[in-house]
């Protein structure tokens, strides 16, 4: 069923015709731009066979691209898990009623959101060793930098999602005797995570791409191994960049598909009790056994 919203009105007949014409015009303009880029690269000899031949050889993939891809995925996966944990912890901290918790949590989040990620990785790798009197591996310099920056952004996203949950949800939980920690854990955070899933996925995609900043500390990720090191051996920096960019597009598309699948799955699970007619009830602790419907 089609319905209008505050932000979007479904187009009428004239608007649909106008949109179709604009789509065709911009499609033709995009094709013309792609053709111009192709011709310029062709004039510069960037489509020459010797520049692309290394990508048909297994040694190129085994020695450069796949090792870099493995390090990228490892750093991204570790950073995603730590960033989500960081975001949830500091979002809850910022929502605390105790100022000695909420104020420091807010300072941490705002500070790491303001510092450029590249500068943060650089400082962790080159500056922290003076503090701990020991070296910091490039892997952990990248992962910690990704965690602090993206976790701070996710903390704000979670905080906004938690505040967007109707107040009646928490009030009903308090009415049946649930503590605030349980309300946050079982009522607010799960609903906020589902509602903020598009923002979370967008930030995780950013995190995956930001692993490329590890080149500043010579971390052997996909950009370093697949573009810098590979082109230094074969002199095909444009070709290598195109191949690596394609790999990044595929990775981010797979991540988005996974998020969409999780979203559909959570929606089906949320609708199942209603479709089955299962009442949702809870028993107050220490009560007489009478269920309170929520």
pLDDT at res. 291: 41
Q: Where are the domains of the chain?
A: 60-293
Phi then psi dihedrals of residue 133, to 5 deg: 55, 45
Q: What is the pLDDT of residues 186-212, one digit of tens each?
A: 888 787 777 788 788 889 899 999 999
Q: Count the neighbouring beta carbons within 10 Å of the beta carbon of residue 17.
A: 11
Mean pLDDT for the chain overall: 84
- The better pLDDT of the pair 268, 291 is held by 268
Burial class (CB in 10 A: 0-12, 13-18, 19+), 159: buried
When pLDDT is averaged across residues 158-180 and rounded to a whole number, the result is 82
Report percent pLDDT > 90 for the chain.
Answer: 47
Q: What is the CATH number of domain 60-293?
A: 1.10.3720.10
- The better pLDDT of the pair 125, 96 is held by 125
pTM of the model: 0.78
**Of 104-113, 162-171, 265-274, the least confident:** 265-274
């Amino acid at each position: 069923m089609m319905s209008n919203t505050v932000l979007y009105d479904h187009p009428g007949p004239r608007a649909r015709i106008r949109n179709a014409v604009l789509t065709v015009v911009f499609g033709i303009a995009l094709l013309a731009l792609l053709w111009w880029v192709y011709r310029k690269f062709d004039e510069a000899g960037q489509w020459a066979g010797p520049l692309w031949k290394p990508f048909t050889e297994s040694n190129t993939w085994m020695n450069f691209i796949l090792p870099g891809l493995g390090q990228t995925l490892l750093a991204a996966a570790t950073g995603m898990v730590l960033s989500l944990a960081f975001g949830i912890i500091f979002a809850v901290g910022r929502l605390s009623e105790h100022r000695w918790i909420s104020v420091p949590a807010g300072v941490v989040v705002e500070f790491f959101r303001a510092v450029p990620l590249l500068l943060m990785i650089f400082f962790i790798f080159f500056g922290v060793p003076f503090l701990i009197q020991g070296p910091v591996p490039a892997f952990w310099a990248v992962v910690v930098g990704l965690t602090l920056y993206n976790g701070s952004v996710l903390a704000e996203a979670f905080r906004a999602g938690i505040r967007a949950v109707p107040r009646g949800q928490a009030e009903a939980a308090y009415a049946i005797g649930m503590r605030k920690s349980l309300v946050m854990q079982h009522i607010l955070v799960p609903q906020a995570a589902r509602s903020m899933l598009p923002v979370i996925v967008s930030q995780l995609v950013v995190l995956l791409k930001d692993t490329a900043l590890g080149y500043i500390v010579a971390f052997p990720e996909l950009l370093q191994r697949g573009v810098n090191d590979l082109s230094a051996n074969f002199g095909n920096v444009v070709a290598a960049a195109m191949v690596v960019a394609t790999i990044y597009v595929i990775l981010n598309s797979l991540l988005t598909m996974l998020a969409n699948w999780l979203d559909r799955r959570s929606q089906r699970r949320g609708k199942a009790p209603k479709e089955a007619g299962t009442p949702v009830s809870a028993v107050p602790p220490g009560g007489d056994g009478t269920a309170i419907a929520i």
